[in-house]
Amino acid sequence: MAVEFTAFGSMNLESLLISEDTPTVVGWREHEQAIVYVYQGGKRTQLNTRHDLRNHSPAGPNWGYAGSGPAQLALGLSCLVLPDKQALAVYQHVKRRLVAAIKGNVWRITFDDLREAILDIMKTVKVPPLCDCNGELFCTVCDGPEGS
């Protein structure tokens, strides 16, 4: 299943949020700077693009092409729904299939849609098991990414 980012022609932040109970990632460009926030539980935090794991783009995240800024965004998005080890194994695929495909200056994606899209990508690429317990995609002992 292909999940697309919902793109918007102009920025109206209130229209981007589905509800306070639906964790959502929202991105927009402001003065040619890409800005990405995570909205969860009524709070807004800047997306951690995980420069500690890989530093592709000191200038920050970006989207709409397959370069260093999109790689940094893909890593941050992947780390939202996967443990670091698996995020590192899959984020370049997320960049090519999801982040490069974002059109426009304003977009959003829910955590559920992001998780579904990344799990769909993981079906077609070799990714390390989510844990050492039993090597399953979702571990019954530690609950995989849900428990991490």
Residues 18, 20, 70, 59: what is their CA dihedral angle, to the nearest 10 degrees?
A: 130
- What is the C-alpha separation between 107 and 115, in angstroms, rounded? 16
Asked if residue 35 lies in contact with residue 29, where contact means CB atoms within 8 angstroms, the answer is yes
Asked if residue 46 lies in contact with residue 16, where contact means CB atoms within 8 angstroms, the answer is no
Q: Encode pLDDT of 42-96 as tens digits.
A: 888 999 999 999 999 989 999 999 999 999 999 999 999 888 888 999 999 999 9
Q: Which two tokens stand for residue 52?
A: 């500690």
Could you tell me the pTM of the whole model? 0.79
Sign of CA dihedral 103, 105, 106, 110: positive
Sign of CA dihedral 99, 105, 111, 116: negative
Q: Which two tokens stand for residue 81?
A: 């729904």
Q: Encode pLDDT of 87-122 as tens digits.
A: 999 999 999 999 999 988 889 999 999 999 998 998
Cβ within 8 Å of residue 97, ≥6 positions away: 117, 121
Hey, is 142 helix, strand or coil?
Answer: coil
Residue 54 confidence (pLDDT): 95
- What is the C-alpha separation between 29 and 2, in angstroms, rounded? 24
